[in-house]
């Protein structure tokens, strides 16, 4: 039988590809399509049942009501800021890990960076809530609960996801290139700007996919430390839960999806997807 398969590579490919493709393509994409189809319908607000009448009303509300634009800009802004903050903090840390630490130390350091990822996202957010509260350990910073607190907390939560790809990228960077650059007379900053940064850029972008995507859709951390602030995730969650308005939730959900798809398309060319 295997000989039969060997002679027919296409059949082998089909066999290998079908289950995952069916699962992801039919089940997942199908579910997504079904969800976004409801964006064209609406809910009867009294009975809460979905009425199958086609219209663009939901999208009209999304585009004309200023509050959704505000929330979108706020969310994208937070996600971008978190990404930049994490990149800036992660890079020196990853560099020290990749280039300065011994091989054994590297392994320990990677474990040290990865262990907190197991420490329940919720508990970490809650720890920040109590630290930033009126009588908490960091109350002297007094940002209160709000957008600043959200940015701090999200940056903290996603930092390991930024450190690890950059570390992997720097690890792959041959030391000889850095040395050569120094030999040619470049100072550290020039070396960084012209040699290290361009070569590790795909890795940085790979990390940014996570920090950006996780921040874009987050609603739990902002509920815990965000005070009165709302992000896109909250609007979707409130519409699905409290308002029982699936069509409108789907409409709002198109915003982060479109943004992420655009982001993925843009970064594909940088080769970041291979660095995940």
Partner 1 sequence: MRKLLWAALGLGLAVIYFPLAVVLLDSFNADTTFGWPPSEFTLEWWSRAASNEGALNALWTSVQAGLAATAIALVLGTMAAFALQRYRFFGRNPVSLLIILPIALPGIVTGIALNNAFRTILGIDLGLLTAVIAHATFCIVVVFNNVVARLRRMGGNLEEASMDLGATGFTTFRLVTFPMLRSALLAGGLLAFALSFDEIIVTTFTLGTGMETLPIWIYNNLFRPNQAPIVNVVAALLIVASTVPVYLAQRLSGDTASGGRL
Partner 2 sequence: MKNRKTRLAGVLGAGLLLAACGTSGSNSAAPPGAQGFTPPKLEALKALGQPEGELNVLAWPGYAENGSNDPKVNWVTPFEQQTGCKVNVKPFGTSDEAVTLMKTGQYDVVSASGDASLRLVASGDAEPVNTALVPNYADVQPFLKDKSWNSVGGVSYGIPHGWGANLLTWRTDKVTPAPTSWSVLFDANSPYKGKVIAYDSPIYIADAALYLQAHQPDLGIKNPYALDDKQFTAAVNLLKQQRPLVSEYWSDYLKESQALKNGDAVVGTAWQVTVNLTKGEGAPLEAAVPGEGATGWSDTWMVAAKSAHKTCAYKWLDYIISPKANAQVAEYFGEAPANTKACAEMTDKTLCDTYHANDAAYAAKIAYWTTPIPQCLDGRTDVKCKDYGEWTKAWTEIKG
Enumerate binding residues for partner 2 (CB under 8 A): 21, 25-26, 29-34, 37-38, 41, 43-53, 61, 65, 67-68, 70-71, 133-136, 144-145, 227-230, 235, 238, 240-245
- Smaller CB distance to partner 2: residue 98 or 246? 246
- Smaller CB distance to partner 1: residue 60 or 107? 107
* 191 interacts with, out of partner 1, partner 2, none, CB within 5 to 8 A per kind: none
Q: Please state, in angstroms and rounded to a whole number, the distance separating the CA atoms of residues 83 and 94.
A: 15
Q: How far is the CB of 235 from partner 1 (least distance, A)?
A: 10
Q: Please state, in angstroms and rounded to a whole number, the distance separating the CA atoms of residues 202 and 3.
A: 41
- Smaller CB distance to partner 2: residue 71 or 203? 71
What values do phi and psi take at 105, rounded to 5? -60, -35
The position carrying tokens 């940064």 is 197
Q: How far is the CB of 138 from partner 2 (least distance, A)?
A: 13
* 81 interacts with, out of partner 1, partner 2, none, CB within 5 to 8 A per kind: none
Q: Is 55 helix (H, G, I), strand (E, B) or coil?
A: coil
- As to burial, measured by CB atoms within 10 angstroms (0-12 exposed, 13-18 middle, 19+ buried), residue 1 is exposed
Residue pair 165/237 in contact (Cβ under 8 Å)? The answer is no
The position carrying tokens 């859709």 is 217
Q: How far is the CB of 174 from partner 2 (least distance, A)?
A: 38
* 65 interacts with, out of partner 1, partner 2, none, CB within 5 to 8 A per kind: partner 2
SS (H, E, C) 170-193: HHHCCHHHHHHHHHCCCCHHHHHH
- Smaller CB distance to partner 2: residue 148 or 244? 244
* 228 interacts with, out of partner 2, partner 1, none, CB within 5 to 8 A per kind: partner 2
* 75 interacts with, out of partner 2, partner 1, none, CB within 5 to 8 A per kind: none
- As to burial, measured by CB atoms within 10 angstroms (0-12 exposed, 13-18 middle, 19+ buried), residue 151 is buried
Q: How far is the CB of 230 from partner 2 (least distance, A)?
A: 5
Q: Please state, in angstroms and rounded to a whole number, the distance separating the CA atoms of residues 243 and 256.
A: 20
* 244 interacts with, out of partner 1, partner 2, none, CB within 5 to 8 A per kind: partner 2
- Smaller CB distance to partner 2: residue 65 or 179? 65
């Amino acid at each position: 039988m295997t000989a039969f398969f060997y002679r027919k590579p296409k059949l082998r490919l089909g066999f290998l590809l079908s289950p995952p493709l069916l699962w992801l393509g039919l089940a997942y994409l199908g579910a997504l399509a079904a969800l976004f189809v409801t964006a064209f319908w609406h809910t009867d607000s009294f009975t809460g049942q979905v009425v199958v009448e086609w219209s663009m009303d939901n999208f009209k509300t999304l585009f004309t009501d200023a509050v959704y634009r505000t929330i979108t800009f706020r969310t994208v802004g937070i996600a971008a800021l978190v990404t930049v903050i994490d990149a800036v903090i992660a890079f020196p840390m990853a560099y020290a890990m990749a280039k300065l630490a011994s091989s054994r130390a590297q392994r320990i350091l990677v474990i040290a960076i990865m262990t907190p990822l197991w420490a329940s996202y919720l508990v970490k957010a809650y720890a920040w809530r109590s630290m930033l509260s009126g009588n908490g350990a960091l109350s002297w910073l007094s940002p209160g609960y709000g957008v600043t607190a959200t940015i701090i907390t999200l940056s903290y939560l996603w930092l390991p996801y930024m450190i690890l790809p950059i570390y992997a990228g720097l690890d792959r960077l041959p030391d000889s290139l850095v040395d050569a650059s120094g030999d040619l007379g470049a100072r550290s900053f020039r070396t960084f700007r012209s040699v290290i940064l361009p070569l590790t850029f795909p890795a940085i972008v790979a990390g940014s996919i996570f920090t950006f995507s996780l921040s874009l859709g987050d609603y739990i951390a902002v509920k815990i430390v965000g005070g009165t602030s709302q992000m896109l995730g909250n609007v979707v969650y409130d519409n699905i839960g409290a308002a029982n308005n699936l069509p409108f939730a789907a409409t709002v959900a198109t915003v982060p999806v479109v943004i992420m798809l655009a982001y993925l398309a843009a970064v594909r060319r940088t080769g970041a997807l291979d660095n995940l």
